[in-house]
Structures are given as structure tokens and as C-alpha cells.
Amino acid sequence: MSEEPTVHTSYRTTHLCSLTLDELKQRLVEIGEPPFRAQQIFEWLYQKGACSFDAMTNLSKALRNRLETFFQFPAIRLVGTQESGEVVKFLWELADGKRIESVLIRSFDRRTVCLSSQVGCPGRCAFCASGRAGLIRSLSCGEIVEQVLHIDRWLREKGERVCHLVYMGMGEPMENYDAVVKSIRIINDEKSLHISQRRITVSTVGIVEGIHRLAKEDFKVNLALSLHAPCQAIRQKIIPFAKKYPLEEILMAVDEYARLTKRDITYEYTLLADINDGSEHAAQLVSLLRGKQCTVNLIPYNPIENLRLQRPKQARIARFREILSEGGINATWRYTKGDDISAACGQLALPNEVHSVST
């Protein structure tokens, strides 16, 4: 009788969704299983939507028991959902009891998931709820992937699939760079969910070294810069990270990203009444971005409890956009969705209450 292979104890806490197909093959060999099982497991996870090892019925009971011993899945638990029209907010509990939120946006035939990459956020932007408690911890690659996996399963029951991803939920993706990049590789894999890189957007408040690194990856993902101000002076007042990363350096890094990846840049701009929403600010923004292949996404401020900031009047937003258009800058005006369930841009926070579960 052959001896049971010696397995490093860390394998017992390895998150299954943090492994690429090749890594899973290697891990299976190391525990004495044939590598072809990895493809079967991937198919169960990402194509058939298995919610546990027990659901992988073409694997032997003995193998399923061993997988349960050596690998962690699932590692996040759905606490509840809230729905408002085209928007569904998902509340997850992690293995350590921490909680995060992610959002599904349904628009025509597009199903977009807004992913969280951290518990809390180090950015502490003045207009965003996610950073009010600061950074608690970063998510693992597997915790990021599982958000997509479970929402895709939820959609599959309705005959739909996730087709677009935006790393714009809780957290600063570039401050959790390795886990974010690996999650993209796994999600993009044709044996996994096979979501095109061109349908994936990574947002950043302007972490220069992260932008440089991402530009050199073999990726074609979209980059969105959380700009929110037309100049360094205003930016420093509303975005603490701006003190570390001057706007000039950020724009140089973003230009390099556009040049190396051939992808247009999206500049996110949250409009705050009497702070960055004036005609003079729009004119400054035109000067800042003139000649760049980009889109400015105008986001009227979404109210957050206990913050004195205000959303500009409709006419003021319209005039701001008009000035950008007159200056040759392509600008979109984001239609607010999900603000009544605190699921709109900037409203995701560390939830203390348990949402009601929808079935």
C-alpha cells in the first residue's frame, strides 16, 4: 500500500479560487491526484456553478473528501441582497467575519459586476463611504474571484451570465495589486469564466507605481482614473492620496498606460456642489485633457449620511458637460442607479446591519 503523500499544512487553507488551472494541477499532483482532475474541478466551479465540493458529482466521494481537507471553498457567504430596479447589491461575510459588498448592474443585455478588492479603503476620499473607516484588510485573490463566481451562479438561474467587470467597489485595487491582477488572469481564462479583458475595468485613485506595473502586464483591460478635480489644489482637498501622488505624475503614468495598451482612458469625475462643478472647473478640465483619447464620466455626488457635501443642480451639471463637449472632450453623464439602497457610486460601506435575503 502506498503512503499518503506529505502535504504542507498551508495547503489546508489554500483558497481554491485563488489557483490558476496550472497551479491547481500542481497542487493535485502534490497530494497524489492526477492533474487532469484540475480541469474537471474548473469546469464544476466556473462552468457548472458548483457551490461546494459535494456538488462535483463526477468526482469520487473519496476525492471530494480530500479536496474538502486540502482546499477552502467556498470562503465567502452570501448574507443577503437588496434590489432596486436594475441594481442588486450583495452583502458577503468572509471567513474571518468581515463583510464586504458588491453590486450587479443590469442594463439592456449587459450584466456588470462591481467588485470590491479590500475591506474598507485606504483612500478616504471625502465623498466616498468606503474609506470612512480606513483600510481593514485586503481581500485574497480567491475572495475577489468568488464574488464574480457566486453572482454569475445567481444570474445563471435566470438564464443570464456576467459579461463585464469593474474593480470599483470597496477598496483601492492598486493597493492590492497582486491579488487583483491574479484574479483577472483567472477570470479571463477560457477554462474559467472567460470574461474578455476588454470588458474588465480597473479603477484607481492614482497609485502611480501600480499604473506603471499594470501597463507592463500582458493585459488589455481598461483603466479608469478617479480624477474628481481639474487641478492639484482641489484634488488635495478631497483626495488624501493626492498629497503623495501629484496630478502631473499621475497623468504621465496614465498616458503611458494608454500608449502601451492602446486602450482609451476613462476619467471618473464626481461633481460636488460649489467645490469642483463650476464653469471655470470645466474649462480647467478641458485644458488638462485636451488631445487625449479619453472619456470623462461625470458622476453627480451620491449622498452619504452625516456628510455635508451636496449634489449640484441639474442645470449646473448640464452646463459642465456642455463646456467639456465644446472643448472636444467626450463626456458621459452617469445615470444614478441604486442610490436608494446605498449601492450607487461612492456609497458602498462596511455594513453593520444584516440585509434581508432575496430568493
* Half-sphere exposure (Cβ direction) of 23: Cα atoms closer than 13 Å: 12
For residue 256 the three cell numbers come to 503611458
Q: In whole angstroms, how large is the CA radius of gyration of the chain? A: 22
Omega of the bond leading into 74 within 30 degrees of 0 (cis): yes
- Beta strand spans in the chain (E): 14-15, 71-72, 76-84, 87-94, 99-107, 110-114, 118-120, 135-138, 164-167, 200-204, 222-226, 265-271, 294-300, 330-333
Number of Cβ within 10 Å of residue 194's Cβ equals 12
From the list 17, 33, 101, 294, the catalytic residue is 101
For residue 124 the three cell numbers come to 478616504
> Cell 456553478, residue?
49
345 as an active site residue: the answer is yes
- Residues contacting residue 319 through CB under 8 Å, at least 6 positions apart: 279, 282
The span from the CA of 67 to the CA of 102, in Å, is 28
Strand partners, 312: none
- Residues contacting residue 106 through CB under 8 Å, at least 6 positions apart: 86, 87, 88
- Residues contacting residue 69 through CB under 8 Å, at least 6 positions apart: 12
17 as an active site residue: the answer is no
From the list 17, 121, 125, 345, the catalytic residue is 345
Q: Please identify every residue annotated as catalytic.
A: 101, 345
